[in-house]
Structures are given as C-alpha cells and as structure tokens.
Amino acid sequence: MTARKLDGTAIGRAIKEEVKKEVEALAESGIRPGLAAVLVGDNPGSRVYVNSKVKTCAELGLYSRKIELPGETTTAQLLELINSLNGDESIDGILVQLPLPNAIDTNAVLEAVRPEKDVDGFHPVNVGRLVRGQACLEPCTPAGIMEMLRRSGLPISGKRAVVVGRSDIVGKPMAFMLLHRHATVTICHSRTKDLPGVCREADILIAAIGRTAMITGDFVKPGAVVIDVGMNKAETREEAERIFGPDEARLAEIGKKGYTLVGDVEPRTVAPIAGYLSPVPGGVGPLTIAMLMSNTVKAARLRRRLA
C-alpha cells in the first residue's frame, strides 16, 4: 500500500476560486480588498514568497501594494510605515515578511500592525483570541492545513495529533487549532525524549521542524495522516535517492536546477506506511497563499462590519 496524496495544489485552487467569487461580489458594492506586502532586505526566499503573494492578489482581483525596503531600515522607520498602512483606507491586510533583519525588533513590528489588518495572525491580540477559541485572523499555514483536513474528509475529533515543531508561525497555532477541534494534542521539539515513539502514537502527524526528511517510516503509525510543512533542499543525487527512492523526475530536477525541494518527511519510507501524505512541493505551500487571500477578504469584510 502507499499513502494517498493530499493534493494542496488542487485544494488551494478550490479555495482561490471561492475567494475570487467573494472578491467579485464585493466589487458590486464598490469594495476592493487590498493587501500591503512589506519586504525588508534581500533574503531571496522571502522575495520569492512576497512576489508570489502579490501575483496571486492580481489573479483573484485583490488590490496589492509591494513595499520593498533596504536591509539597513531601522525599527523606527518600519514602525512609521506600518502606522501609515494602519490608517490607509485602501489597505485591508498588512503582511510583513519574516524573517526580518537581525537589527529590527520583530516583536515591536508585529505588535504595531492593527489587529484588524493582521492577515498573518501574528499580533498578540489575534494569538490570544486563537488560544481562547475566539473568532480572529488565523495564521495562514496552520489554517491551510485545517482546510486540507476538512476538505479531504479527515476527522479530527478524538484523534491523537502530534505536532513536531513549536514555532509561533506553525507549531503552536497548529496545536491550538487541532485542540479546538477536539484532538488530543502533543507538541514535540528538539528535546523530546523518544521522538519516534511519541510520533508513532499519532493519527495525525504534523511535521514542522525544518529538518530535511527527518520524519522517517519508523516515526509513523500505519494508516496515519502525515502533513509535511517542511521546505528544504536536496542538492545531490545520493541525498535525493535516499529520500525519494528511484525518482527520475527528482534526479532530473537536480541535474537542471541544482536542487529539488524536500520536506521534513522522507517519502521513500513514510509513503508505504502512512494512510495519507501531503507532498512537497504541492502540499501545504499552495494553501498558505490561498489562506492569506482568504484572510485579506475576511479582514476587508470585518473592517466594514459586513460579517
């Protein structure tokens, strides 16, 4: 047996279609949801993400503004920009791409974003509301994973969920979202004792550690739902063969681009055991952007008290 694929590209497309229809309906009332995407410095990964967010806005009919600032920008300058976006009527969502350069006070920046415009769900007000189970703007990646589970008809209530990774962006909010849907949740991290044993208890296993192919078959209970949030690179044929087995497309990609994208899960050993597996690429990634678009429309409605 091999795991069924959780197709994030198809699910992301369906969500984006729904968002596009909402944007069209709002346009009839003269409303155009708008997103400001702020990129500081020249992290190449961040640039790719921001460009892709702005491009998706255009595809769905949202207004977007990309603001690029040099790496030497100060915290004070960034706070001033956010302040002006907070008061800008054409902007419903403000996204500051992370990580910010070391010299910038990230907490001060995230706290400066008006919670009503915080489409990343990183402001302490939204984090607090999420923890309490109140309505809020939710972080996009875990929200996308919840949509993936829901739209795939995979039940959560009463299941054992193990989240590997305790980041503010994925691990922690993911754990609370699963808890609110009545899963029994364990959060693991680098100091967890017997990590494979804990993971093997999971009916739903979320891999969000940021370590290439760390979750191997011996971490997985037969039939489990495995969600791979990792985004790493394999750069040699030997590494790719160890992770994927004899996958010609992957090897060809390395020959052409110099790398192939790899998650935190090792498909060669996990796919024969898991019941469902989200691939990398084409799993969680497309859902993050789809949920950002959905959050921007939600913020536009909330700010106008449209429910």
Regarding 208 and contact with ligand GUN (CB under 6 A), the answer is no
Instruction: Find the binding residues for ligand GUN in span 229-258 (CB under 6 A).
Output: none
Regarding 264 and contact with ligand GUN (CB under 6 A), the answer is no
Q: How far is the CB of 203 from ligand GUN (least distance, A)?
A: 26
The residues, ordered by sequence, that sit 6+ positions from 46 with a Cβ below 8 Å of its Cβ are: 39, 97, 98, 99
Q: How many residues bind ligand GUN (CB under 6 A)?
A: 9
Give the span between the Cα atoms of 49 and 97, in whole angstroms.
8
Among positions 141, 260, 295, 296, the unique one binding ligand GUN when judged by CB under 6 A: 141
Q: How far is the CB of 36 from ligand GUN (least distance, A)?
A: 11
Q: How far is the CB of 197 from ligand GUN (least distance, A)?
A: 30
Among 53, 117, 221, 298, the active-site one is: 53
Regarding 95 and contact with ligand GUN (CB under 6 A), the answer is yes
Q: How far is the CB of 46 from ligand GUN (least distance, A)?
A: 7
Pairing of strands 260-262, 232-234: antiparallel
Among 16, 92, 118, 120, the active-site one is: 120
> Tokens 């191997």 sit at which residue?
216
The stretch among 15-23, 54-62, 91-99, 108-116 that binds ligand GUN (CB under 6 A) is 91-99
Nearer to ligand GUN by Cβ, of 169 and 207: the residue is: 169
Among positions 56, 97, 126, 295, the unique one binding ligand GUN when judged by CB under 6 A: 97
Instruction: Find the binding residues for ligand GUN in span 101-120 (CB under 6 A).
Output: 120
**Structure tokens given for 250:** 């992957």
Among positions 169, 227, 277, 293, the unique one binding ligand GUN when judged by CB under 6 A: 169
Q: Is 134 a catalytic residue?
A: no
Q: Give yes or no for a contact between 206 and 169, defined as CB atoms under 8 angstroms apart.
A: no
Nearer to ligand GUN by Cβ, of 47 and 160: the residue is: 47
Q: How far is the CB of 236 from ligand GUN (least distance, A)?
A: 26
The stretch among 90-98, 105-113, 173-181, 219-227 that binds ligand GUN (CB under 6 A) is 90-98
Between the CA atoms of 128, 133, 134 and 135, what dihedral angle is there, to the nearest 10 degrees?
110
Among 16, 92, 97, 264, the active-site one is: 97
The residue sitting closest to ligand GUN, measured at its beta carbon, is: 98
Regarding 154 and contact with ligand GUN (CB under 6 A), the answer is no
Nearer to ligand GUN by Cβ, of 6 and 40: the residue is: 40
Going by C-alpha positions, the residue among 299, 172, 262, 276 that lies closest to residue 221 is 276
Q: Is 120 a catalytic residue?
A: yes
| Site residues, ligand GUN (CB under 6 A) | 95-98, 120, 140-141, 169, 288
* Catalytic site positions: 53, 97, 120
